[in-house]
């Protein structure tokens, strides 16, 4: 299943689970649906002005915006529509857990640093 290639077409950030940022130069949106996707996918991404636009759209849509510099930089190198790289599994899992535990999503950036 992990060798199966998902669709590579970029998707709107409003469909993502969260947007990882670094804090303004890179933005990477993740999408994960148990039973539909075996791992989180790189949903869409952007840098510089495009990253700022993604951040604004995510906040407006109530999508959690999470600052994690190393993870965002690492995931930015992956292609849109591909599963997250294996070395990022633990860090991404940790961030999904943190986001799930939030009582409410605000328009504030959530800062989470992960250890390797």
Q: Across all residues in the chain, what is the average pLDDT?
A: 87
Q: Note the pTM of the prediction, 2 decimals.
A: 0.84
Quick one: which of 34, 35, 94, 95 has its CA closest to 66?
95
Q: Could you tell me what percent of the chain has a pLDDT over 70?
A: 83
- What is the predicted pLDDT for the residue at 112? 74
DSSP per residue over 40-94, as a string? Answer: -EEEEEEETHHHHHHHHHHHHHT--EEE-HHHHHHHHTSPTTSBPPGGGHHHHHH
Please state, in angstroms and rounded to a whole number, the distance separating the CA atoms of residues 2 and 5.
8
Check whether 8 has a pLDDT greater than 60: no
Summarised one tens digit per residue, pLDDT across range 16-36 is 999 999 988 999 999 999 999
CA atoms of 86 and 78, how far apart (whole Å)? 11
- Residue 39, pLDDT above cutoff 50: yes
Are the C-beta atoms of 94 and 70 separated by less than 8 Å? no
Interval 41-60: pLDDT, tens: 999 999 999 999 999 999 99
State which fold the 13-111 domain adopts: name from scop (3.40.1690)
Q: Which one has a higher pLDDT value, 4 or 26?
A: 26
**Distance from the Cα of residue 45 to its chain's centroid:** 8
């Amino acid at each position: 299943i992990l060798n199966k290639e998902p669709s590579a077409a970029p998707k709107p950030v409003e469909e993502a689970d969260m947007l990882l940022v670094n804090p303004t130069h890179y933005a990477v949106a993740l999408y994960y649906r148990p039973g539909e996707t075996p791992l989180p996918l790189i949903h869409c991404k952007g840098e510089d002005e495009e990253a700022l636009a993604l951040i604004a759209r995510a906040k407006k849509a109530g999508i959690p915006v999470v600052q994690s510099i190393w993870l965002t930089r690492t995931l930015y190198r992956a292609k849109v529509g591909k599963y997250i790289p294996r070395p990022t599994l633990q860090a991404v899992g940790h961030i999904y857990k943190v986001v799930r535990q939030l009582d409410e999503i605000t328009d504030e950036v959530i800062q989470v640093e992960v250890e390797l």
